[in-house]
């Protein structure tokens, strides 16, 4: 499933990194208002607004989003990396109340004084119904 993240952010200090530098010098941490957009092959195009909180310690990063209207929430935890001149993030995620979980990757991760943007993919791990 592909989704796009586009988040507004209040003005903040941003470091500019040349290609090949450690991505930890970019500070992705902050509170954001986000717009999610995704396509489901059965139900079509979906768009929604969410509140996003990002924390970062070195190359460890978490991104949590919540939708107060639907009460949906997801937690993404992982490691920062490089994606060409942009950042990347990969790790594990969990969503509720539907209890989806699996692996995710964010590519093209970029932070500016106005926004954080990236493109993400996730793979849901299916539970084995046999005992």
CB neighbours of 65 closer than 8 A, spacing ≥ 6? 34, 36, 50, 51, 52, 53, 73, 74
Region of 114 (left: φ > 0; alpha: ψ -120 to 50; beta: rest) is alpha
CATH number of the domain encompassing residue 51: 2.40.128
| Structure confidence at residue 7 (pLDDT) | 42
| Structure confidence at residue 79 (pLDDT) | 95
* 80 located within any domain: yes
pLDDT by residue (tens digit) across 54-83? 999 999 999 999 987 788 899 999 999 988
pLDDT by residue (tens digit) across 11-55? 433 333 334 445 556 889 999 888 877 777 788 888 888 899 999
- Surface-to-core class of residue 3, CB atoms within 10 Å of its CB (0-12 exposed, 13-18 middle, 19+ buried): middle
pLDDT by residue (tens digit) across 82-106? 888 899 999 999 988 877 889 999 9
Alpha-carbon distance of 35 to 57, in angstroms, equals 25
* Domain count for the chain: 1
* 71 alpha-carbon distance from chain centroid: 18
* 100 located within any domain: yes
């Amino acid at each position: 499933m592909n989704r796009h993240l586009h988040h507004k952010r209040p003005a903040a200090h941003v470091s500019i990194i040349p290609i090949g530098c450690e991505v930890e010098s970019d500070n992705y941490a902050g509170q954001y208002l986000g717009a999610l957009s995704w396509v489901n092959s059965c139900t079509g195009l979906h768009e929604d607004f969410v509140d996003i909180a990002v924390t970062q310690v070195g190359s460890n990063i978490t991104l949590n989003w919540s939708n107060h209207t639907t009460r949906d929430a997801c937690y993404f935890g992982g490691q920062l990396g490089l994606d060409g001149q942009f950042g990347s993030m990969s790790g594990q995620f969990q969503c509720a109340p539907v209890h989806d979980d699996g692996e995710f990757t964010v590519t093209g991760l970029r932070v500016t004084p106005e926004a954080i943007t990236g493109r993400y993919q996730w793979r849901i791990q299916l539970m084995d119904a046999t005992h």
